[in-house]
Amino acid sequence: MNSPVTIIGAGLGGLVLARVLHVNGIPSRVYEADPSPAAREQGGMLDIHDYNGQLALQAADLMDDFHAIVVEGRQTMRVLDTDGTVLTDRADDGGGRPEVMRGELRRILLDSLPAGTVRWDHKASDVRALGKGSHEVTFACGCTVVTSLLVGADGAWSRVRSLLCDATPEYAGTSFVETYLFEADTRHTAAAKAVGGGSMIAPSPGKEIFAHRESGATVHTYAQLTRERDWFAAIDFTDSATATARIAQEFEGWAPELTALITDTDTPPVLRPHYALPTGLRWDRVPGVTLLGDAAHLAAPNGEGANLAMLDGAELGQALAAHPDDVEAALGAYEEAMFLRPTEEVMFDGAEVQGIDSEGNTAQGLVNMINEQGR
């Protein structure tokens, strides 16, 4: 390929694609809506799995850089009952799911690309087919680009997806409320002790609390609830105290060290509703365009999203390198493999767990499942 591959979105999947293309001598341009790499926070910890995310980093020739940003000890995992009883507390065994900060992972990907590869402050506002596999992208700034190979790495609300199908994400019935505790070991000692050195989950039918120790003494928490969107809409999240008290009320009777992860937040609580595309979404091959990551197979959080996006990017880059004179063969091979890859399993530390609304979504149920799988 001589003309650059046009990638919309500088998330992990789009950047892995750009890097794998670069390793294979194929030029690309990445267009990102954010005005700069530091325009917003990039999220918390990610466990990068040896069966997908790490394979992508190997294809990108970035394993040494990856190992340099691993936060040691964060594979520690504990399961707590709602009364605070610790049912399992597993030490970091150096297994196949090392933890890194998402922002650091994005940084090493950006640093691995030639200068100017990413065009910041380019929000795609419209896309249209021009025929014969050619497409035009219009950006909010008014500028346009015409390309013979367009890749939508633009997330849940992808503009590029409309060129392939009419599927749109629907609310999945659950939402996170996200909080942070800073200097937790000295300022929030009971909550920090409950979380331990890595991740902690306290599950219950219809609700659960998941917390993770990030670098330093920061504890990042997601309180998950099965509620309709209108229920959350009735809560004023601009009033931090009222909002956290209302969410904590849903965990009434739980151990105070667990509810403190919500009520003692050092940041305003952030509502993160979950959306999903239809399971098993496919589309007919459309010349000159494809999707990766959430744009292709958005699911409610299951521990796999970032890893799968990276694997998509790597496999698409490898397919294009393997078929340098036949873009359609490359896209066809990539999409067929992606369509066959399961994306809907809910995982926790390698164990497939009950859905949140299941009666079996309990601490003991999770421990039993992990033990049955020999983890």
User: Per the structure block, which two tokens stand in for 34?
Assistant: 């954010």
Specify the 3-state DSSP secondary structure of 166: coil
> Strand pairing partners for 221?
179, 211
pLDDT > 70? residue 374: no
What pLDDT was estimated at residue 3? 73
CA-based R_g, the chain, Å:
21
Q: Letter for the amino acid at 28?
A: S
CB atoms within 10 A of CB 1: 19
pLDDT tens-digit profile of 19-74? 999 999 999 999 999 999 988 877 788 999 999 999 999 999 999 999 999 998 88
pLDDT tens-digit profile of 242-291? 999 999 999 999 999 999 999 999 999 999 999 999 999 999 999 999 99
d(CA 28, CA 5): 4
pLDDT > 70? residue 2: no
Compute the mean pLDDT over every residue in the chain, rounded to the nearest whole number: 93
Q: Which residues contact 265 (CB under 8 A, 6 or more apart)?
A: 179, 180, 181, 221, 240, 244
pLDDT > 70? residue 136: yes
What pLDDT was estimated at residue 346? 46
Q: How many CA atoms are closer than 13 Å to the CA of 156, on its beta-carbon side?
A: 16
pLDDT > 90 fraction of the chain, expressed in percent and rounded = 82
Give this prediction's pTM: 0.94
What pLDDT was estimated at residue 44? 84
